[in-house]
Amino acid sequence: MHNQAPITRRKSTRIYVGKVPVGDGAPIAVQSMTNTRTTDVAATVAQIKALERVGVDIVRVSVPTMDAAEAFKHIKQQVNVPLVADIHFDYRIALQVAEYGVDCLRINPGNIGNESRIRSVVDCARDKNIPIRIGVNGGSLEKDLQEKYGEPTPQALLESAMRHVDILDRLNFDQFKVSVKASDVFLAVESYRLLAKQIVQPLHLGITEAGGMRSGSVKSAIGLGLLLSEGIGDTLRISLAADPVEEVKVGFDILKSLRIRSRGINFIACPTCSRQEFDVIGTVNALEQRLEDIITPMDISIIGCVVNGPGEALVSTLGVTGGHNKSGFYEDGVRQRERFDNELMIDQLEAKIRAKAALMDQSKRIVINHLEK
């Protein structure tokens, strides 16, 4: 692994979304959101379970109606991951899902209505230990702020967020996190920077409506990459017009790239050229699919020839360097006598990676047991 200075995280308070800690140095939680009809309980549960399989920490479910609140009750009983209910305007829905064990309410107190409604939601959240997420979005900024600033600006998003924060402050409620999302990368980044200086609560990061799989991933990586590398951000969601499972994978890939949080395999592969001695692209694609279940953090380098292969293999958990008919194999930076047959590369490498992951998991368990004694 390459050495690098660790990122100093912004200091914040901590909340708990169900059992998942958010803020105050806790691992940055990766979230996603279901896109099934919440009233379709079976489809929504199936999607949440698919998200659980790729390691999601928290899932948001929109609850637009009382029927959806009833469905939420049944969904909640069938999944393990903490659930956030996304609610707009109707405070009664918030009270209802609180009864059904919701782990966090995504509701903006300034949009609930009169003081007694706000109070009833906040008192309920306090009684049941349910945190709130304030979510400001550049696309739905209050009309008066749009008029004041002319367009969504970082100051406008900040002012909008602080209106909701001030309401919770006034009610002595501090168990909340805040997001100031925008589809424009620079608008979102600057808004989060301003907000990070104003409050001590955890921040939920996202570039909203970022786009499809490719463009949305790029925008999110740039925006969240800037913020995370400055230590800003305690939980994140990648908003893609794609399968929510992809949002989780991209979220972990961003954290992995910044070496903030490792989960699963970090593949290092060359772009290939005429020097490649085996099918690098086919190998990487096949292994990425086959090894989705591996959660052990590992660096695996798959390099087509000796130009860059040995150098990358030296700093990888396992590495392959393309050779004529047979390719060189490295473990923990040490060249092994064993070589892979280029034709059998995928199967042989998969077996090696699985065996190494099992060994690393076992060593970790031994260390933990020792420390607990």
Distance CA 145, CA 188 (A): 16
Structure token pair of residue 331: 């473990």
Residue range at the interface with ligand SF4 (CB under 6 A); choices 134-142, 172-180, 216-224, 298-306 = 298-306
Residue with the closest Cβ to ligand SF4?
304
298 versus 305: smaller Cβ distance to ligand SF4 = 305
6 versus 271: smaller Cβ distance to ligand SF4 = 271
Residue range at the interface with ligand SF4 (CB under 6 A); choices 215-223, 229-237, 271-279, 290-298 = 271-279
Rule CB under 6 A: say whether 276 interacts with ligand SF4: yes
Residue range at the interface with ligand SF4 (CB under 6 A); choices 57-65, 73-81, 142-150, 269-277 = 269-277
Taken as a whole, the chain contains a residue count of: 373
Residue selected from 19, 148, 214, 275 as contacting ligand SF4 according to rule CB under 6 A: 275
Distance CA 234, CA 285 (A): 31
The answer to whether 104 is annotated as binding is no
Residue selected from 50, 245, 307, 315 as contacting ligand SF4 according to rule CB under 6 A: 307
Rule CB under 6 A: say whether 282 interacts with ligand SF4: no
Rule CB under 6 A: say whether 324 interacts with ligand SF4: no
Instruction: Give me the torsion for CA of 282, 285, 291, 294, rounded to 10°.
Output: 130
Task: Kindly state the smallest distance separating residue 248's Cβ from ligand SF4, in Å.
Answer: 30
Residue selected from 66, 200, 241, 273 as contacting ligand SF4 according to rule CB under 6 A: 273
Residue selected from 305, 313, 345, 353 as contacting ligand SF4 according to rule CB under 6 A: 305
Contact 247/239 with Cβ under 8 angstroms? yes
The answer to whether 124 is annotated as binding is no
Residue selected from 155, 272, 285, 336 as contacting ligand SF4 according to rule CB under 6 A: 272
Residue ranges in 239-268 that form contacts with ligand SF4 under rule CB under 6 A: none
Q: Say how many Å lie between the first and final Cα of the chain, rounded.
A: 30
Residue range at the interface with ligand SF4 (CB under 6 A); choices 41-49, 52-60, 114-122, 305-313 = 305-313
Task: Kindly state the smallest distance separating residue 306's Cβ from ligand SF4, in Å.
Answer: 7
Rule CB under 6 A: say whether 270 interacts with ligand SF4: yes
Task: Kindly state the smallest distance separating residue 338's Cβ from ligand SF4, in Å.
Answer: 21
150 versus 271: smaller Cβ distance to ligand SF4 = 271
Binding site for ligand SF4 (CB under 6 A): 270-273, 275-276, 303-305, 307-308
Q: Residue ranges for the binding site?
A: 270, 273, 305, 312
| Binding-site residue ranges for [4Fe-4S] cluster | 270, 273, 305, 312
